[in-house]
Structure 1
Amino acid sequence: MNNESVHVAIAILYQQNKFLMQLRDNIPGILYPGYWALFGGHIEPGETPEVAVKREILEEIGYNLPSVVEFGCYTDERVVRHVFHAPLSVELNQLVLNEGWDMGLLTLENIYQGSCYSQNAGEVRPLGNMHQKIMLDFIRTNQQT
């Protein structure tokens, strides 16, 4: 890992065996354009990952995260992802999508398949590889539900 790595904080938000994910904007130059991914974003200087994930979720979907639990850290050559999880305690229609192309509650089947239909895109879109891996790890770790 080098000093060029970007640190981000992302959240697995779940509700009745479904997981809230964002369909990223289909813009060239961003990571995973047009892919389903977890909500979250860059950690600002001086911010802890926990503070960052709460701020990002509030900015992106207007949801005030009551508390989060750290799940793990996933590192590749470009990004260090600090992953948290929390229950989503509001209905989807109470959230406001401020960033991204679409959002949805993905089922276990969607996550295993690695794709999900998007109403806004009008087509099935893939999950980002790293995001699918994180979700599968989380599902495996929480099989007791």
Structure 2
Amino acid sequence: MKNQPVHVAIAILYQENKFLMQLRDNIPGILYPGYWALFGGHIEPGETPNVAVKREILEEIGYELPPFVEFGCYTDERVVRHIFHAPLLVELNQLVLNEGWDMGLLTPEDIHQGNCYSQNAREVRPLGNTHRQIMLDFMERNQS
């Protein structure tokens, strides 16, 4: 019997030409431990992706999402990722990191090269492959 994939809601939050990402906790057993990834999380039973993304962002960084737009859905054997995007309308120091090792505004260059320095980890950490691909697709579709 095949396991059902987990459904998650994730937000691409952007400010000027940078993107807010979370350095995931370096805990064995979680997906992408110690990797940069997008904020978001599991959709609770009976919850819509839209409701889940607002709840997760509020829980993880204390940010009340402004109006947001659906970007797409990325599916693999384990996870169905519902992706949304919205502007980040506050300074980084106004956010409270409640989940994860670090957070930062990554540049398109960071995303293209697939890694970024973390102040908290005191080292360069990689981006999770799926999250990097989502960001590359997003940047490509939103080039002005």
Q: TM-score under structure 1 normalisation?
A: 0.97
Q: Give the RMSD, CA atoms, in angstroms.
A: 0.7
Letter paired with 2:120: N
1:89 positional shift:
0.2
Alpha-carbon deviation of 1:4? 1.4
4+ runs of 1 displaced by more than 4 Å? none
Structure 1, unaligned stretches of length 5 or more?
none
Q: Report deviation, 1:67.
A: 1.5
Aligned runs of 1:62-141 on 2, under 5 Å? 62-141=62-141
Gaps of 5+ in 2: none
CA shift for structure 1 position 48: 0.5
| Residue of structure 1 in register with 2:55 after alignment | 55
Aligned equivalents of 1:44, 1:67: Cα separation in 2: 21
CA shift for structure 1 position 63: 0.2
Check whether the contact 2:8–2:43 (CA below 8 A) recurs between aligned residues: yes
**Equivalent residue letter for 1:76:** D
Q: Which letter maps to 2:12?
A: I
Taking every aligned residue pair, what percent have the same amino acid on both sides?
Answer: 85
Number of aligned residues: 143
**Matched AA of 1:96:** V
